[in-house]
Amino acid sequence: MVDIMVHGNPIPVRERTRRAMRAELTLLAQDLFAAKGYDQTTIEDLVAAAGMSKRTFFRYFTSKEDLVLGKYELLADRLTEAITARPREEPVWESLRRAFDVIVEFFDDERQLARTLAMEKVICANPALSAGELERMARAQEQLADLLRDRMGRPSPADPTPAAIAGAALSCLIAAKKTWIATSQSRPFGELLDEAMAALRPA
Amino acid sequence: MVDIMVHGNPIPVRERTRRAMRAELTLLAQDLFAAKGYDQTTIEDLVAAAGMSKRTFFRYFTSKEDLVLGKYELLADRLTEAITARPREEPVWESLRRAFDVIVEFFDDERQLARTLAMEKVICANPALSAGELERMARAQEQLADLLRDRMGRPSPADPTPAAIAGAALSCLIAAKKTWIATSQSRPFGELLDEAMAALRPA
DNA sequence: CCCGAAGTGCCACCGAGTGCCAAGTGTGCC
DNA sequence: GGCACACTTGGCACTCGGTGGCACTTCGGG
């Protein structure tokens, strides 16, 4: 069931069809990428399979990368939401860990697990995609750092600490994710993340 | 003065001319990027200024990105060298901080300061370049994590800790660098790095 | 029912990057 | 000096991701 109402306002029809189109194209593309490989799948292949013109495709997606990494935007927003929802007196490291649960849940979602893992594999196999993933994470990190700066009562932008902590937390997340994937999910993601974050408590 | 001998072996002539060509092209390209912007400078512009063909250019550089980010490869090697040179009983966080001195020195080099800052500005202004920079750092991080795994006596690849620590240290480096640039070098890079790393001591 | 805005297809175009082949350039050896 | 050989270079045609422009359709509201 898709949300038709958000904050009491209806989402206009155009927007809904647009999202549906993006979702459909994303699924189709990811299947092609998983089957043939990212580089081996051209936009022409994709639009032929989808029955649309190349020009139209680029009205829905800004780039080929977007087909794989589009979800990260959404995830980053959910992350910042999650952290603002944490009590302000909570230690920041704890808040970060709890906020990361939204990411953990995303990766643990069994209905999507196979697809998610397939896309991670595609990303790892392609340096440009890996780079794009990191870049999107860096954007999230900046948002996070701003929130932390506020929360830690360190208003000075000349203080590198909030950015360092946000980056460190994301590094733990990445390390846990990589281990989780490399070990074929033999241990729960959340547990690995706990372990990584326990090794690095801010002073 | 350029090194002609390395480890007692002479570098062959071809290799030397190749390096000289790369260095010259890099300087030329960076000047163009700084003047006109990265996206606005085409490879055609560059090779016209250098008096060579496009085809030849791509025999010296694998990509346009390489003109800006090529030095990172070298820097990563120097970093891993520096860390292997640290005593094994030293706490890893301390070893990392000391190893980072090679990076700090690179950025502090006054003869190159203007050029380095100009390139940082170019990188920041271009998402693809930022992504590439992060990707190269991630590669360095993997090397670092391997060294740490060894040094920490945690041989299991299922342990996310070494990667988390390596990532955290690099996050501190990045945070310090960003602050250093954002505040127009009003405080020494090394000092900002100390501050960032002090906030995040591994348990 | 009509008007305007958004969506679409098509085509020409740009820039990065590659494969291929022919011509140039130097280096060592006889 | 001349020959053979390895390496370098240039030019061309090509692929692919991505954009600009324009004409056409579709759809919703007054």
Give the pairing type, strands B5-6 and B9-10: antiparallel
Q: Which secondary-structure segment (H or E) carries B10?
A: strand B9-10
Give pLDDT tens digits for B144-192: 999 999 999 877 889 999 999 999 999 999 999 999 999 999 999 999 9
Report the nucleotide nearest the CA of residue A56, measured to C1': C8
Mean pLDDT, range B103-113, rounded to an integer: 90
User: For chain A, how many residues are written?
Assistant: 203
Give pLDDT tens digits for B119-132: 999 999 999 999 99
**pLDDT-based confidence at B10, cuts 50/70/90?**
low
Evaluate if the CB of A14 falls below 7 Å from strand C. yes
Probe site for chain A from B171, B172, B194 (most A CB atoms < 10 A): B171
Q: Which two tokens stand for residue B53?
A: 């063909």
Query: Coil, strand or helix: which one is A102?
Result: helix
Q: Which secondary-structure segment (H or E) carries B9?
A: strand B9-10
CB contact under 8 A, B168 and A163: no
Exposure on the CB side of residue A169, measured as CA atoms within 13 A: 26
Structural domain spans, chain B: 5-60, 64-198
pLDDT of residue A3 exceeding 50, the answer is: no
Q: Which of B127, B168, B203 sits opposite A171 (nearest CB)?
A: B168
Give contacts of A 148-187 with B, CB under 8 A: 157-161, 163-168, 170-172, 174-176, 178-179, 182-183, 186-187
Which residue's structure tokens are 């790095």?
A: B193
Nucleotides of C under 7 A from a protein CB: 6-12, 14-20, 27
Mean pLDDT, range A26-36, rounded to an integer: 94
Give pLDDT tens digits for A84-126: 999 999 999 999 999 999 999 999 887 889 999 999 999 999 9
Q: Where are the beta strands (DSSP E) in chain A?
A: 5-6, 9-10
Report the nucleotide nearest the CA of residue B54, measured to C1': D10
Q: Which of B182, B186, B199 sits opposite A203 (nearest CB)?
A: B199
pLDDT of residue A139: 96
User: For chain B, how many residues are written?
Assistant: 203
pLDDT of residue A37: 94
pLDDT of residue A201: 86
Give pLDDT tens digits for B44-94: 999 999 999 999 999 999 999 999 999 999 999 999 999 999 999 999 999
Query: Is the domain covering A5-60 a CATH 1.10.10.60 domain?
Result: yes
**Contact between residue B112 and residue B27 where contact means Cβ atoms under 8 Å apart:** no
Chain B residues lying within 8 Å of A138, measured CB to CB = 130, 134
Mean pLDDT, range B88-104, rounded to an integer: 96
With pLDDT > 70 as the criterion, what percentage of chain A qualifies?
A: 93
Q: Find the closest chain B residue to A168 by CA distance.
A: B168
3.30.720.210, 1.10.357.10, 1.10.3720.10, 1.20.120.1200: CATH of A64-198: 1.10.357.10
Q: Which residues pair with B10 in a beta bridge?
A: B5
Give pLDDT tens digits for B13-44: 677 788 889 999 999 999 999 999 999 999 99
Give pLDDT tens digits for A129-182: 999 999 999 999 999 999 999 999 877 889 999 999 999 999 999 999 999 999
pLDDT of residue A4 exceeding 50, the answer is: no
